[in-house]
Each structure stands twice: as structure tokens, then as C-alpha cells.
């Protein structure tokens, strides 16, 4: 069913009233993890692999397309976090465990390998290598206290890949990674070089497997790109700039292995795709955008020819640099078949005849299809969230407004289903985390949809400091915690009121991490604007950023905070909600994870204790086993229920009217 038909049906249901309305979506459906976050076809086109959630854990499933026979790979005690095909029928996957207080399992740094039929399932690199391989025949592999990351699959070599290895050190200061050629069958490796840059560093190899670029931030938070041509001995710096949004970096070689495509920020533009050669070493724009950065690169079915870019100025958009290619022709036809949705090719067989296509939108978490180029046939494979019915979801509308100082701000407005033109609605201002380099996108958002399903409009704004809008826009947020970054959120809220969208007496502000900070700081700065505020795993005392948490554990982290947040104790105190709680009129809800190492629980606990001492009633949700954001589905469902009860009591239909 097309998006247009879905929304016409939704509008008709609204006109028919409650008798024709669909049943309310259970909160458990919004709380569920995406069932299949990634699906990839094997190089020989005979198998597909997918990560699948079973019993609240993500495992790996391999399906033979000829007879649909499935094999399930279950890591011991961990979850699959990523996978990729490294040979015609050989798969590499990584697993994760709770690390550093992250919301989701973080990668352990180990490399697992398995054949498409489930055989030769071995840990060939990492702390458990040679110890826990299933039926291992590998005797030479030894455990290593290090983490490995894939650089290149070497598509023409079924036996080897390129990896970078980061040795674990007792000191917090990272060391340069080492790059190896790694055998996917027995785990043997050959050292190629030591990186010219500290960890974490990124690398780019040409199609012949020569690693020619290294890029990353130095200890002083400067963005560096280094180049070393085939046969050269020394690395040469080709770019030195600020480590912020829009930072140029090499993305891919062209099919001839001569021209390199870079993300770039041409003069007078926000985003662009540029070409670079070793001969002239200049960035030449081939595609530009005045208001948004490149999000990802698009390649042809040969997986080498660059054909365009994907960007998100509002909804998703494709920028074409090579029109007369099979990929652009196929995408054009597929987008006509799925109007209003984002269509992307996520993986392709080596001969280019079969591909995996993902179709997704604001109301559709995503559906995977198998595309046969010869027959032009598109066969459905898997839905990313089979409990979510797009017909029951609310539309996300891109918005644009001016800040009080004239800056262009972009964001999204989600109004309840059937109220796409609704006015005077209760509204939740939903602030993203980060804050720097992170942004909200057009697409399915479980929090926004959950709130909209219960009658709330949801406003999201990419305030200055957000990623995706260029270097100038991101750095404009530096040292503006509680300042102009907060003003942008306020201006977006007042814009929604001026447009008649939001009931000025029924507005709540909510967010996680930095968004939690902005929620409470919004209540501090604008005591009469918000009826309530929900802070989840938020930063409430900026001074603690230098003494508690992960960022202060390295010179890079400390330098980054000094540059982006400042280090004057008086200024940090003045920009912290904990020092200004007496200014808050809004009702408060605090959500804290007991295992949070990113923003330790002391932030939320300090506010909670201070409110208790003042006799101020507030909602307190503390989950001992959760970390920087809730992950367990039952805990997320409970959090949603508690949030909705809080919102309903303060800005819902049964809320006590605000004082005039």
C-alpha cells in the first residue's frame, strides 16, 4: 500500500470517529528493539545474513535463498552488534557486552568468523581467541588484549581482510593503531604499518588493497587527514582543520583507482562531494548543497562506481553525480513504486545481479526486499519491526524557522494521526542528545511515535551545535550550554505556539543526555513556558564533567570539553540546572540508569536529593541495571508508561488547567 493511500485511509478513519478507529498501539510494541537492523547478501548471491532479536538478545541468522534453509548463530552470553561478508560464503561478525555505561551493548573488539552453513564458527581475534571457538580446529590463535576494526573486506580476495588493531593500555591516553592483513580462515596476520594518527583513526584503501589514507582527531582536537601513495615511505598531511561538523574526509576511490571522492564543504555551501587526485591534491566539487552535509555515498551495482549521495535536508534526498548508471535507473523506478519513502540498496552480490533493498519512512521502520536485476523482481524478505503498522503511525513533517538572532533552524513536527492539521495541541518538545555533531533525522522514531499515539504533538529541532549543517553551524554551539543552544529550543517552542500548533498552556520538554540537560535548563530559563520537564540520564552539573564520567579520563576528552563547554567554574555553575532549581515552576520527572558511566547517576541523584530537601514533589525513575539510556524492553515499556502518566497529569486532557 502506498504512503498516500495509507494516509488517505488514516484520514478517513479519523472522520468516521472512534467507531472506525484502530486499536491503540501497545506501549510494548514501541519498546521492542528493531527486529532486523541489518540484512546483507553474500558475495555469491546464494545467502543472506541478518541480525535478529530473539528473547531480547540480538543473534545472527543465515538464510540459503535456494531452499530458504536457515542457520542461527548464537553468541555465548553476548549480542551480535555488526557483521559483514568477507568471502563468497564466509561471514565475520562482532559481539557486544555492556561497556562503559552505554545504552546498547558495546563491541568487545573480538572478531568472529563463520561459514554460511554454520561451520567453522571461530573466534580468530580478541581476548577469547583460541579459547571459546565452537568445535575449533584453530590451534595457532592466541588471545590478545586488544580491539580490532574492519578497514576493507578486499572484495577480490576471499581469504583476507584489512583490519586496524588497538592495543588495550592501562593509561587512558590512546596509542596509534596497527594495520594488518588478516586471514579469515586461520586468524594469522601480517603487519602492514603503524598508523600515523592516534586512536581512534579511520582508514581508506584503494581497490587493490593499498591503505593510502588515515584520518582522525589529534590530542588537541584538530582534524587530520594523512596520505601515503603506493610505494611511498612517508605519510604526508593533506588536511588540518577543526574537528567538527563538515570535516572533509576521503570516502571511496573511483572504479579506475585514481580519483578519490571526499565529503567536503565547498565555499558558500554547507555540504558537498568533491574529487581529489594525488597529482593535484585539490578538492573539486562535483555535487553541493547549500543547507546540509552529505550523509552517505551511493555506488553502482559494481560496488566501485560512485553514482551519488544521500542527504537529509528535510526528508531524505538523493544527489546524483552520474545519471546514466544502472543504480540510478533502478532507484528511480523503485522510488516511483514507493512514493514518499526512502529507498536504498544496502548490499549487492559480487556479480551485481542480486541486491538487498531497504524501504523506510517516518511511519515505516523499514522493510527489506530481495531485488533481482535481470527479472526486475522485488521480493519481500523481512520487516524491521513487524509489530508496527505504518497505517497507525503519525506523519513527521520537516519544519524550518528563524532563531532570534537570524539563524536558520531545521527540525521536525509530528502531530497525532488524524490531526495532521491539528491546532492548539498538547505538545512535547523532544530534544536530542550530543549535543555536538548529533542531529534529528526524518524517519521512524519510537519515542516520537509513542507520544503521538497518545495524542501529543512532538517538536524536534536541530539547534546550533547539531551535526549535519556544516562547520559554522556546529561551532556556533560551542560554549553555549544554557545559552544560544537553549535559546534555539525556546525559539522553536514559541514558533509552534505562534503557528497555532501548540496550546501554550500544555507544553512539556523532554530529552536524554544533553537533551535531559536542555529539558531542565529550559524549565530554569523559561519557567512560564513549560508545564513539565522530563530529564533522562541528563547532565545537571557541568562542573562534574571534569571530575566524574569518561570524558575527563584522557587529555583529548579534557581538551574537547574545554573547547566545546568551557572550563570556568563560575560560568559552568551558572549554566547548571542544579544551582538554579528554585527558579523552576514546571513539574519534574527524572530518569536515571544506575550503571551509567557516560553521565554518572550522581547528576540525577543530586537533583533528586535537592528537590526532596525542598519538599518538591517530582517523579523519580531509577533503574539499577540500566545505563546511559534504557535498553531492556520491559524497562523501556515501564518508562514509557511512567512518562505518559506524568504527561497526562500535567498537559493531558485531564490535567489541571494552568494558572492564568
pLDDT at 553: 54
C-alpha–C-alpha distance, residues 261 and 287, integer Å: 11
Q: Residue holding cell 600515523?
A: 196
Task: Choose among 440, 423, 422: nearest CA to 431.
Answer: 440
Residue 102 has pLDDT above 90, yes or no: no
Per this entry, what is the length of the chain? Answer: 660
Residue 608 has pLDDT above 70, yes or no: yes
Percent of the chain with pLDDT over 90: 75
Cell for 375?
527479472
**Average pLDDT, stretch 420-437?**
96
C-alpha–C-alpha distance, residues 314 and 305, integer Å: 27
Residue 465 has pLDDT above 80, yes or no: yes
pLDDT at 130: 77
C-alpha–C-alpha distance, residues 95 and 60, integer Å: 10
The DSSP secondary-structure symbol of 102 reads: B
Q: Is the peptide bond before 435 cis (omega within 30 degrees of 0)?
A: yes
Residue 14 has pLDDT above 60, yes or no: no
C-alpha–C-alpha distance, residues 261 and 271, integer Å: 13
Buried/exposed code over 173-206 (b: 16+ C-beta within 10 A; e: otherwise):
ebebbbbbbbebbbbebeebeebbbbbebbbbbb
Q: Residue holding cell 467507531?
A: 19
Longest CA pairwise span in the chain (Å): 77
CB atoms within 10 A of CB 607: 24
pLDDT at 221: 76
pLDDT at 26: 98
pLDDT at 138: 59
C-alpha–C-alpha distance, residues 559 and 331, integer Å: 44
Q: Helix %, strand %, coil % for the chain, to 5?
A: 20, 35, 45
- Categorize the per-residue pLDDT at 6 as very low, low, confident or very high, splitting at 50, 70 and 90: very low
- Categorize the per-residue pLDDT at 9 as very low, low, confident or very high, splitting at 50, 70 and 90: very low
- Categorize the per-residue pLDDT at 503 as very low, low, confident or very high, splitting at 50, 70 and 90: very high
Return the H-helix or E-strand segment holding 205.
Answer: strand 202-205
Q: Which residues pair with 47 in a beta bridge?
A: 64
The DSSP secondary-structure symbol of 578 reads: G
pLDDT at 137: 53
Cell for 174?
590512546
Instruction: Note the pLDDT tens digit of each residue in 318-334.
Output: 999 988 899 999 999 99
C-alpha–C-alpha distance, residues 112 and 495, integer Å: 51
Residue 16 has pLDDT above 50, yes or no: no
C-alpha–C-alpha distance, residues 83 and 90, integer Å: 11
Q: Are 182 and 191 in contact (CB under 8 A)?
A: no
Q: Residue holding cell 552520474?
A: 322
C-alpha–C-alpha distance, residues 535 and 604, integer Å: 9
- Categorize the per-residue pLDDT at 139 as very low, low, confident or very high, splitting at 50, 70 and 90: low
Instruction: Note the pLDDT tens digit of each residue in 146-184.
Output: 999 999 999 999 999 999 999 987 666 678 999 999 999
C-alpha distances in Å from residue 187, one per residue of 155, 160, 244, 345? 18, 9, 37, 31
Cell for 35?
527486529
Pairing verdict, β 377-383 and 260-264: unpaired
Percent of the chain with pLDDT over 70: 91
Q: Are 486 and 434 in contact (CB under 8 A)?
A: no
Task: Choose among 81, 135, 139, 74: nearest CA to 110.
Answer: 81
Q: Are 417 and 392 in contact (CB under 8 A)?
A: yes
- Categorize the per-residue pLDDT at 219 as very low, low, confident or very high, splitting at 50, 70 and 90: confident
CA angle in degrees (0–180, nearest 5) for 30-34-39: 160
Which residues neighbour 571 within 8 Å (Cβ) at sequence distance 6 or greater?
none
Task: Choose among 169, 171, 219, 211: nearest CA to 191.
Answer: 211
614 phi/psi in degrees, rounded to 5: -85, -5
CB atoms within 10 A of CB 318: 17
Q: 194-203, 304-313, 392-401, 470-479: which has the highest mean pLDDT?
A: 392-401
pLDDT at 172: 61
The DSSP secondary-structure symbol of 228 reads: -
Q: Which residues pair with 536 in a beta bridge?
A: 512, 591
- Categorize the per-residue pLDDT at 519 as very low, low, confident or very high, splitting at 50, 70 and 90: very high
pLDDT at 106: 73
C-alpha–C-alpha distance, residues 200 and 57, integer Å: 28
Residue 4 has pLDDT above 70, yes or no: no
Residue 136 has pLDDT above 60, yes or no: no
C-alpha distances in Å from residue 399, one per residue of 459, 513, 557? 9, 24, 34
Mean pLDDT for the chain?
90
Which residues neighbour 579 within 8 Å (Cβ) at sequence distance 6 or greater?
541, 573
**Average pLDDT, stretch 577-595?**
97
Q: 135-149, 160-174, 332-346: which has the highest mean pLDDT?
A: 332-346
The DSSP secondary-structure symbol of 392 reads: G
Residue 453 has pLDDT above 90, yes or no: yes
Query: Exposed, middle or buried by CB within 10 Å (0-12, 13-18, 19+), for 535?
Result: buried
C-alpha–C-alpha distance, residues 601 and 612, integer Å: 16
Q: Does domain 393-651 have CATH number 3.30.230.10?
A: no
Q: Are 186 and 125 in contact (CB under 8 A)?
A: no
pLDDT at 231: 85
pLDDT at 15: 36
Instruction: Note the pLDDT tens digit of each residue in 481-492.
Output: 999 999 999 999
**Average pLDDT, stretch 425-435?**
97
**Average pLDDT, stretch 527-547?**
95
Residue 133 has pLDDT above 70, yes or no: no
Residue 17 has pLDDT above 80, yes or no: no
pTM: 0.91
pLDDT at 561: 87
Amino acid at each position: 500500500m502506498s504512503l498516500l493511500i495509507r494516509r488517505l485511509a488514516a484520514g478517513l478513519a479519523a472522520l468516521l470517529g472512534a467507531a472506525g478507529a484502530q486499536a491503540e498501539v501497545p506501549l510494548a510494541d514501541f519498546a521492542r528493539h528493531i527486529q532486523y537492523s541489518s540484512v546483507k547478501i553474500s558475495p555469491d548471491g546464494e545467502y543472506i545474513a541478518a541480525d535478529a532479536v530473539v528473547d531480547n538478545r540480538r543473534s545472527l541468522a543465515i538464510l540459503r535463498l535456494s531452499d530458504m534453509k536457515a542457520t542461527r548463530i548464537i553468541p555465548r552470553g553476548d549480542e551480535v552488534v555488526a557483521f559483514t561478508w568477507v568471502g563468497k560464503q564466509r561471514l565475520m561478525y562482532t559481539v557486544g557486552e555492556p561497556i562503559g555505561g552505554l545504552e546498547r551493548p558495546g563491541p568487545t573488539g573480538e572478531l568472529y568468523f563463520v561459514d554460511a552453513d554454520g561451520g567453522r564458527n571461530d573466534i580468530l581475534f580478541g581476548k577469547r581467541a583460541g579459547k571459546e571457538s565452537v568445535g575449533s580446529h584453530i590451534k595457532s590463535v592466541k588471545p590478545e588484549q586488544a580491539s580490532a576494526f574492519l578497514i576493507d573486506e578486499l572484495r577480490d580476495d576471499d581469504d583476507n581482510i584489512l583490519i586496524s588493531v588497538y592495543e588495550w593500555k592501562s593509561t587512558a591516553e590512546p596509542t596509534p593503531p596497527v594495520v594488518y592483513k588478516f586471514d579469515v580462515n586461520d586468524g594469522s596476520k601480517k603487519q602492514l604499518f603503524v598508523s600515523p594518527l592516534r586512536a581512534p583513526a579511520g582508514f581508506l584503501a584503494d581497490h587493490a588493497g593499498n591503505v593510502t589514507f588515515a584520518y582522525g582527531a589529534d590530542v588537541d582536537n584538530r582534524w587530520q587527514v594523512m596520505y601515503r601513495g603506493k610505494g611511498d615511505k612517508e605519510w604526508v598531511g593533506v588536511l588540518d582543520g577543526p574537528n567538527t561538523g563538515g570535516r572533509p574526509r576521503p570516502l571511496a576511490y573511483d572504479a579506475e583507482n585514481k580519483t578519490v571522492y571526499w565529503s567536503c564543504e565547498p565555499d558558500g555551501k554547507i555540504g558537498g562531494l568533491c574529487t581529489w587526485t594525488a597529482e593535484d591534491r585539490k578538492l573539486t566539487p562535483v555535487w553541493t548543497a547549500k543547507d546540509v552535509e552529505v550523509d552517505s555515498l551511493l555506488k553502482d551495482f559494481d560496488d566501485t562506481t560512485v553514482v551519488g549521495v544521500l542527504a537529509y535536508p528535510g526528508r531524505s534526498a538523493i544527489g546524483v553525480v552520474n545519471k546514466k548508471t544502472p543504480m540510478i535507473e533502478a532507484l528511480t523506478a523503485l522510488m516511483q513504486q514507493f512514493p514518499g519513502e526512502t529507498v536504498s540498496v544496502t548490499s549487492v552480490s559480487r556479480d551485481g545481479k542480486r541486491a538487498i533493498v531497504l524501504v523506510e519512512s517516518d511511519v515505516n521502520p523499514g522493510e527489506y526486499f530481495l531485488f533481482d536485476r535481470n527479472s526486475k523482481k522485488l521480493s519481500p524478505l523481512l520487516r524491521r519491526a513487524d509489530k508496527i503498522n505504518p497505517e497507525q503511525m503519525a506523519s513527521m513533517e520537516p519544519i524550518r524557522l528563524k532563531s532570534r538572532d537570524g539563524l536558520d533552524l531545521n527540525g521536525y513536527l509530528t502531530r497525532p494521526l488524524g490531526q495532521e492539521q491539528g491546532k492548539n495541541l498538547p505538545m512535547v518538545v523532544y530534544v536530542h542528545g550530543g549535543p555536538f555533531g548529533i542531529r534529528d533525522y526524518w524517519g521512524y522514531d519510537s519515542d516520537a511515535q509513542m507520544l503521538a499515539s497518545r495524542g501529543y504533538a512532538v517538536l524536534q529541532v536541530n539547534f546550533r551545535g547539531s551535526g549535519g549543517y556544516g562547520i559554522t553551524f556546529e561551532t556556533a554551539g560551542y560554549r553555549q550550554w544554557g545559552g544560544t543552544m537553549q535559546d534555539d529550543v525556546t525559539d522553536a517552542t514559541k514558533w509552534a505556539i505562534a503557528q497555532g500548533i501548540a496550546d501554550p498552556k500544555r507544553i512539556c520538554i523532554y530529552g536524554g543526555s544533553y537533551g535531559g540537560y536542555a529539558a531542565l535548563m529550559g524549565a530554569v530559563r523559561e519557567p512560564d513556558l513549560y508545564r513539565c520537564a522530563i530529564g533522562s540520564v541528563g547532565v545537571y552539573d557541568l562542573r562534574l564533567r571534569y571530575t566524574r564520567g569518561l570524558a575527563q579520563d584522557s587529555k583529548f576528552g579534557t581538551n574537547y570539553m574545554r573547547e566545546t563547554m568551557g572550563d570556568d567554574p563560575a560560568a559552568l555553575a551558572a549554566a547548571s540546572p542544579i544551582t538554579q532549581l528554585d527558579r523552576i515552576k514546571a513539574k519534574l520527572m527524572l530518569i536515571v540508569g544506575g550503571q551509567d558511566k557516560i553521565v554518572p547517576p550522581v547528576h540525577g541523584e543530586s537533583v533528586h536529593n535537592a528537590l526532596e530537601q525542598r519538599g518538591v514533589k517530582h517523579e523519580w525513575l531509577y533503574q539499577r541495571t540500566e545505563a546511559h539510556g534504557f535498553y531492556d524492553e520491559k524497562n523501556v515499556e515501564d518508562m514509557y508508561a511512567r512518562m505518559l502518566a506524568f504527561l497526562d497529569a500535567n498537559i493531558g486532557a485531564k490535567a489541571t488547567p494552568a494558572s492564568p
